[in-house]
Structure 1
Amino acid sequence: MSQEHSPGLQRSLKNRHLQLIAIGGAIGTGLFMGSGRTISLAGPSVLFTYMIIGLFLFFVMRAMGELLLHNLEYKSFVDFAADILGPTVGYFLGWTYWFCWIVIGIADVVAITGYTQFWWPDIPLWLPGIACIIFLMVFNLLSAKLFGELEFWFALIKIVAIIALIAMGAYLLATDFVGPTGETASLTHLWDRGGVFPNGLNGFFAAFQIAIFAFVGIELVGTASAETADPETNLPKAINKIPVRVIIFYVFALTAIMTVTPWDMVAPDKSPFVNMFLLIGIGAAATIINFVVLTSALSSANSGMFSTGRMLYGLSQNKLAPKSFGELSRSGTPCKGLIYSCSLLLCGVFLLYAEGDVMRVFTIVTTVASICFIFVWAVIVISYLKYRKILPQAHANSKYKMPFAIPMCYATLVFFAFAIYLFSQEEETLIGLMATPFWFLALLLCLPYYKKRLRNQFGLRNKVNT
């Protein structure tokens, strides 16, 4: 369907937008601020943590890519899940994905306020969050292309910061740099401090809980593909580069950090990126990294607004959400869905005034989001398994087949089950794990309201027969 004649979302995103959206989705704020914690837990084995998670999520993205390209009428993974597994699954998946981004958006609003206070300590707590919401909402309401432009530049800032860190690490390693602790930069630091697994398997697995959250949003490329000009070409390009990006942005960056500063000297509560800049005499290191993590949080909030608006639009089109969420502006953006989602992000501003340990609350809340993302990824894989069973000819004709498809689907589901188990091993993540079922219970209680609409939806078999 051409852009000129389509009454729906407009395909105004270009290849460069989709590529940078894919990169931005694969680089979370957790890499900048949370990598110190993962290094202290797992030591050098943290490199395997990110590689393993990246490997399984690559196959999730390949499954999603084949399904989206199988039918270009699919605007997101919610569409094919509803079509293949049934509209009830689409209902749970779409609303859960929307909920994930609302939770992360609330966390981002609070984080943006904290980063802003670095420069202006006396700024009112409500001002940065509200300014961020209004700024991003206006850009998202104007057009999808403007969202793509914002995300392009946000992601570019993250890329430049990581490449700069890797280059610095290589330079310090080549010049036998001696740090303030008297340690010489060396590759041997990856194994001479208690081995590759200095804290054993328990430490290695403990890092998974934080590392998984760093990857949330990687599936955003599937949502954005509905609005790219040439999805058959651009979507495979974006997905195929995920393994390279994981190696460059996670493995090389963390290797650079641990060869210059031994893993057991990395502060768990500080950004190792700041320390790397300080080591070579850049006094403004904290300011530079604060700017980078601020743009990373803005990028996450921007992606959240884009995703939530599109999810509500898709749910409304399938009669799984109020009809008004399916209305588009003249520029082809789901205006009412965006405004509704943005209004909920204001909860983050109110939380800033709440008493108690806010960071503890956010650890629990983001754990809920991580578990819900695992649910989303798992449904994508299950949809693919069902698709292979009922439409073998479609797979045979596919130009973008998932490699090692069936075995990797089952291996990925086993990995996700193990990841859920890991969330039960720490107090705060256990609280999040125990709280997550309440969201699904709330969806279940609301399900009767949509039952009549769901009965009128056609499943995949009916569509094939017609």
Structure 2
Amino acid sequence: MVDQVKLAAEQASGHEEHLRRNLTNRHIQLIAIGGAIGTGLFMGSGKTISLAGPSIIFVYMIIGFMLFFVMRAMGELLLSNLEYKSFSDFASDLLGPWAGYFTGWTYWFCWVVTGIADVVAITAYAQFWFPDLSQWVASLACVLLLLALNLATVKMFGEMEFWFAMIKIVAIVALILIGLGMVLFHFQAPSGHVASFSHLWNDGGWFPKGISGFFAGFQIAVFAFVGIELVGTTAAETKDPEKSLPRAINSIPIRIIMFYVFSLIMIMSVTPWSSIVPDKSPFVELFVLAGLPAAASIINFVVLTSAASSANSGVFSTSRMLYGLAQDGVAPKRFGLLSRRAVPSSGLTFSCICLLGGVVLIYLIPNVITVFTMVTTVSAILFMFVWTIILCSYLAYRRKHPERHAKSVYKMPLGRLMCWVCMVFFAFVLVLLTLQEDTRQALMVTPLWFIVLGGMWFYWRRFSLK
């Protein structure tokens, strides 16, 4: 009875103490799929194919393999203590308050940067149908819509992500089936090329650009996987997390093979990799070859919803990170308050204000592609930092709580070994980023974020100790 009175008082004041577990298994499965399929697959695959040729298939498989173990480590940690709301919580508990602080704020910054890029992309895609619409109006309308929908309930976010992800899945499955049909019926393109699986190995072999081309593919492909850890930020709002989270994480390898590998195989079988244009979406080109007159409009819609899905995920996850940071005393207390609908509205509003930076970018920078490359590289580097913290947290968990690991029903396979293998792989990717001028610049800029964050950390510690 006392608890009911307390809950009623919290609801009346508009500040509930806890996030509600309103996301169902259906939502979690599709959020996980949406996180694994980024805009990079639709728009960036042309550039990755031109860099690496058919070997790009192995690039995506290797990255997907490594990130599967990162997700398994995250899954075991989240289920070892259901009080953990996200990975910044277990980082703070297992590595120290500094780890939760750096992880939470870095993840927030990752999604704000990615969200700005998505808002710019959405604006560009909207111009396809509304060429006379002012770009800043389209950007502002996009941000306000995302804010309004996320302020409603967490279930609304789940529904939006469900349908956004469903659109992406239908588009990719359609591409795979149409491509397979073109290969089986020996479709001949206007250029004279006949669709065949032999294009994968007859045009210079699997590694036509050599080992350097193969390595170059990793730089862009890593960004395509940004958001795969998104399911970890939904832990506090998931119904029956013991069943939902393992199902979502275990299906990651199947998704990688089906959505990335199969779609790339079909694209390079219909059109030889050397004929694919880097700055065009190979998805659009395949549908055009198939004689689908509305191909450009359909893929434009798919890519627009993909970018909207990413921005929507960013708004959700950043607000939850700010909520957790405020609870730990390393963010303004207002971000730790919940609305009557159990939504961290202050954090949502602040993140959306930051997304309006995309409107400013449209005015200041004429070449969006150049900025997009640099912004996405910075984002990928920071995401690798977050993934590394998850692995370090797992190693600390195995050392500090062997009894929890022994009781776990969702143990990470080859736990300690794969943590080190994954971290060595991330270090290898960082070395690869030094090889190209645009990615090298992003790598040099990134440390500035950690310097700013370090200054803020000392300020918060000094302020909280008074």
Which bracket does the TM-score occupy, shorter chain normalised?
over 0.9
Of the three residues 342, 346, 351, the one matched with 2:361 is 351
State the alpha-carbon separation in 1 of the partners of residues 183 and 296 from structure 2: 22
Counterpart of 1:177?
Answer: 187
State the alpha-carbon separation in 2 of the partners of residues 331 and 186 from structure 1: 54
State the alpha-carbon separation in 1 of the partners of residues 463 and 75 from structure 2: 28
Read off the aligned partner of 1:179 and give its amino acid letter: A
Q: Deviations over 1:337-389 (max 9, x none)?
A: 00001001111001101144232122112111110000000000010011111
8 Å contact kept, 1:68–1:80: yes
Counterpart of 2:444?
Answer: 434
State the alpha-carbon separation in 2 of the partners of residues 405 and 285 from structure 1: 45
Of the three residues 106, 110, 114, the one matched with 1:104 is 114
Is 1:248 aligned with 2:263?
no
Counterpart of 1:446?
Answer: 456
Scaled by the length of structure 1, the TM-score of the pair is: 0.96
Counterpart of 1:268?
Answer: 278
State the alpha-carbon separation in 2 of the partners of residues 453 and 60 from structure 1: 34
Is 1:291 aligned with 2:301?
yes
Read off the aligned partner of 2:250 and give its amino acid letter: N
State the alpha-carbon separation in 1 of the partners of residues 188 and 120 from structure 2: 38
State the alpha-carbon separation in 1 of the partners of residues 109 and 365 from structure 2: 24
1:455 Cα deviation from its structure 2 partner: 6.9
State the alpha-carbon separation in 2 of the partners of residues 383 and 355 from structure 1: 39
State the alpha-carbon separation in 2 of the partners of residues 236 and 276 from structure 1: 35
Partner SS for 2:145:
helix
1:453 Cα deviation from its structure 2 partner: 6.8
Read off the aligned partner of 1:101 and give its amino acid letter: W
Counterpart of 1:258?
Answer: 268
Q: Deviations over 1:399-442 (max 9, x none)?
A: 00000111111000000000111111111111100000000000
Counterpart of 2:10?
Answer: none
Q: Deviations over 1:86-127 (max 9, x none)?
A: 001111110000000000111111101100011121210111
Percent of residue pairs bearing the same amino acid type: 61
Q: Deviations over 1:262-299 (max 9, x none)?
A: 11111111000011111111111111100000000000
Counterpart of 1:12?
Answer: 22
Q: Deviations over 1:200-230 (max 9, x none)?
A: 0111111111110000000000111221111
Alignment of 1:329-340 (within 5 A): 329-340=339-350
Counterpart of 1:165?
Answer: 175
Of the three residues 81, 84, 93, the one matched with 2:94 is 84
Counterpart of 1:137?
Answer: 147
For structure 2, list consecutive stretches of 5 or more residues without a partner in the other structure: 8-15
Scaled by the length of structure 2, the TM-score of the pair is: 0.96
Read off the aligned partner of 2:22 and give its amino acid letter: S
Read off the aligned partner of 1:238 and give its amino acid letter: A
Deviation above 3 Å: which 4+ runs of structure 1?
2-6, 452-456
State the alpha-carbon separation in 2 of the partners of residues 448 and 7 from structure 1: 28
Of the three residues 406, 414, 417, the one matched with 1:404 is 414
Counterpart of 1:69?
Answer: 79
More displaced, 221-230 or 368-377? Answer: 221-230
More displaced, 349-358 or 211-220? Answer: 349-358
State the alpha-carbon separation in 2 of the partners of residues 429 and 195 from structure 1: 28
1:184 Cα deviation from its structure 2 partner: 1.2
State the alpha-carbon separation in 1 of the partners of residues 435 and 444 from structure 2: 12
Counterpart of 2:225?
Answer: 215
CA RMSD of aligned residues (A): 1.5
1:390 Cα deviation from its structure 2 partner: 1.2
Q: Deviations over 1:32-61 (max 9, x none)?
A: 000010011111000000000000000000
